[in-house]
Copies of this chain bind each other. A is one copy, B any other.
Amino acid sequence: MSKRIIQREQVTSRLAAHILENGFEQTSLRNLADAAGVSDRMLLYYFTNKNDLLSSIILKIAAEMAVILAGAIPEVPKLSPLELFQQGAKLTMGTQLRPYMKVSIEISARAGRGEIPFAQLSQGMIDGFRIWIEARLETQDLERRRMEALMLLAMIDGLGVLSFAIDEDDLMKAMNALERTLAR
């Protein structure tokens, strides 16, 4: 395998970690090159242009998130919406997955403005998360399971948005209220 391909993979991984920690601001090619430990000249040798680079990073982040999710909660036994919310909310607010939620919401926000390449990649990330939820819900009826999955997705994303600006105390209140509503 050519070194170019190998480097492309490694640089993508390093920059995925960098973006997860720092977000999409200050992502000039020179900044990213420093973060990846290569020269900016090489970045444009490994990737055709900045969009190609960003796309690779986002796809990598989505893939990593999928792996973490897959290993975090087994597909069996199936769970009720309440149980899945409890485990899912705790999971996505935890130290391991929170950076991914943060980036995911940033990507969604930019997708809402049609920014490239975010708009093209956002739907895939959300679909992945939704399918992960659906696979763990006990609900038999397909249509109803999809509805419940979308609902849980909205709840968890909503908690994520709130968590950026409110304190942990209020965040717990929001979580508890959602739990109690699902528990009725």
- Interface of A with B (CB < 8 Å)? 22-23, 25, 81, 102, 105-106, 108-113, 115, 122-123, 125-126, 146-148, 150-151, 153-166, 170, 173-174, 176-178, 181-182, 184
Chain B residue nearest in CB terms to A105: B109
Q: Name the residue among A123, A154, A173, A181 with the largest chain B CB count within 10 angstroms.
A: A154
Chain B residue nearest in CB terms to A123: B165
Q: Tell me if A159 and B164 are in contact (CB < 8 A).
A: no
Q: Tell me if B153 and A158 are in contact (CB < 8 A).
A: yes
Give, as a whole number of angstroms, the nearest-CB distance from A92 to chain B: 12
Give, as a whole number of angstroms, the nearest-CB distance from A32 to chain B: 16
Give, as a whole number of angstroms, the nearest-CB distance from A134 to chain B: 12
Cα(A87)–Cα(B156), bound, Å: 21
Contacts of A184 in B (CB 8 A): 181, 184
Classify the interface of chain A: helix, strand, loop or mixed.
helix
Q: Tell me if A150 and B164 are in contact (CB < 8 A).
A: no
Q: Name the residue among A148, A165, A178 with the largest chain B CB count within 10 angstroms.
A: A165
Q: Tell me if A162 and B154 are in contact (CB < 8 A).
A: yes
Contacts of A177 in B (CB 8 A): 147-148, 150-151
Cα(A184)–Cα(B25), bound, Å: 43
Give, as a whole number of angstroms, the nearest-CB distance from A59 to chain B: 15
Query: A174's contact among B25, B113, B147, by CB below 8 Å, is which?
Result: B147
Contacts of A174 in B (CB 8 A): 147, 150-151, 153-154
Q: Tell me if A166 and B126 are in contact (CB < 8 A).
A: yes
